[in-house]
């Protein structure tokens, strides 16, 4: 039997030869494929130096204090609301939005605001993105490219063309420094548009791997923030997407600190420091060299914000203890979810409660009745039209 340039003495030898060739080709293709994938595989380089480790220890200690603190439901609800408002105002302000905290709070409460339409959309959009993040966490849904695209679509709704909102960019992107409208310097050149899908897919894969490996959630959130900023996957809205995605990483990994923090405040207070910290290279390849300086900035800011939250929670906890309040005033996660809904929507029905808690209507009714007995909520209307609102 004769193969190409090979002579086999019999059929059995030929079959063995063909099997060897097939395996060789299979393994060779696998090696080539691995080499191609390895080219894009995210391998963040950083050093967990003493400064970073000390900050992570401080954050973990503050987390334990915040989680254990007992504060009144209405006070916790107020802190959560303030955190969402601060997150939204700061994250949009970094990108040039002009609305202040008072105006953002009005939009959160579905009130009218006299401001430019684009500014209003940007704030409403970020609030919707934060709601979506909560939904992802409640469903225990993994972070995927679809989730990243959805977050971007939400933060840029009606402020970016439909063919660019929630869609990877198809054109080059340059971050520039300008004076009086004139470009004076190209600060950063993003990767070519054709590389964006592979880089984002790699980021999602790294996120899953880092979670399995037990990487500290704060480090993971910092790397995700930096990586989205570096890839610059979209025509606009990359910063808001990066900050929202970092929050999602923390929430999913049980580092939500009772939803009381707003890291964006830290960035917004000293924007130039934020820009300087996040721009660790003029090209994507340069930014991959060492994440350490960025992570030092990130953990320092996180620690500062969490220490502030801890101080507020401890003060409220001491006040609650001094009032000698009954233990039953400290509510369960399910009861707090009901109050969160009430705070945003204004009223809740038994069906609403059953939906947000994923429980039978009978269970939802009992939870609402307990809150009513505690005089936290009151019933309005009767029969099928009845609902509950917060007591004033």
Domain ranges of the chain: 2-40, 50-315, 331-390
Range with the largest mean pLDDT of 232-241, 285-294, 373-382: 232-241
Q: Would you state the CATH architecture of domain 331-390?
A: Orthogonal Bundle (1.10)
Q: Give the pLDDT confidence score for residue 385 in this predicted structure.
A: 82
Q: Give the pLDDT confidence score for residue 20 in this predicted structure.
A: 61
* pLDDT beyond 60 at 383: yes
First to last CA, the chain: 93
Largest Cα span, the chain: 97
Mean pLDDT calculated for residue range 51-74: 94
Q: Give the pLDDT confidence score for residue 22 in this predicted structure.
A: 55
* pLDDT beyond 70 at 24: no
pTM more than 0.85: no
Out of 34-38, 72-76, 210-214, 259-263, which region has the weakest mean confidence (pLDDT)? Answer: 34-38
Q: Which two tokens stand for residue 292?
A: 């350490």
Q: How far is CA 29 from CA 38, 209, 381, in A?
A: 14, 24, 70
* pLDDT beyond 90 at 112: yes
Asked if the 50-315 domain carries CATH number 1.20.5.440, the reply is no
CA distance 298 to 62: 16
Q: What percent of the chain has pLDDT over 70?
A: 88
* Of the candidates 264, 256, 341, 263, the residue with the CA atom closest to the CA atom of residue 66: 256
| H or E element, residue 124 | helix 117-138
């Amino acid at each position: 039997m004769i193969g190409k340039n090979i002579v086999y003495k019999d059929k059995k030898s030929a079959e063995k030869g063909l099997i060897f060739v097939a395996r060789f080709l299979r393994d060779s293709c696998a090696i080539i494929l691995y080499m191609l994938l390895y080219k894009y595989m995210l391998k963040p380089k950083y050093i967990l130096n003493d400064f970073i480790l000390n900050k992570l220890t401080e954050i973990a200690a503050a987390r334990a204090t915040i989680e254990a603190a007992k504060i009144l439901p209405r006070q916790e609800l107020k802190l959560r609301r303030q955190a969402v408002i601060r997150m939204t105002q700061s994250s949009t302000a970094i990108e040039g939005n002009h609305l202040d905290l008072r105006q953002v709070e009005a939009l959160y409460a579905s009130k009218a605001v006299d401001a430019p339409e684009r500014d209003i959309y940007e704030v409403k959009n970020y609030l919707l993105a934060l709601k979506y993040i909560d939904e992802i966490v409640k469903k225990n849904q993994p972070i995927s490219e679809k989730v990243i695209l959805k977050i971007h679509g939400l933060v840029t709704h009606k402020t970016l063309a439909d063919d660019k909102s929630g869609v990877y960019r198809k054109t080059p992107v340059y971050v520039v420094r300008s004076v009086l409208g004139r470009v004076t310097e190209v600060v950063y050149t993003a990767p070519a548009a054709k590389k964006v899908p592979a880089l984002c897919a790699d980021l999602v894969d790294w996120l899953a791997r880092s979670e399995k490996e037990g990487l500290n959630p704060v480090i993971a959130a910092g790397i995700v923030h930096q990586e989205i900023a570096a890839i610059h996957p979209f025509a606009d809205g990359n910063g808001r997407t990066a900050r929202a995605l970092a929050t999602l990483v923390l929430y999913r990994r049980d580092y939500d600190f009772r939803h009381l923090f707003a890291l964006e405040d830290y960035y917004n207070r000293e924007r130039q420091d934020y820009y300087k910290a996040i721009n660790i290279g003029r090209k994507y390849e340069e930014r991959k060299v060492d994440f350490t300086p960025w992570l030092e900035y990130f953990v320092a800011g996180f620690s500062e914000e969490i220490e502030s939250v801890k101080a507020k929670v401890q003060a409220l906890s001491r006040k609650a203890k001094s009032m000698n309040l009954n233990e039953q005033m400290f509510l369960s996660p399910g009861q707090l979810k009901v109050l969160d809904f009430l705070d945003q929507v204004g009223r809740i029905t038994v069906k609403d409660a059953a939906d947000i808690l994923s429980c039978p209507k009978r269970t939802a009714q009992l939870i609402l009745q307990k809150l009513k007995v505690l005089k936290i909520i009151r019933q309005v209307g009767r029969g099928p039209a009845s609902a509950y609102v917060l007591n004033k």
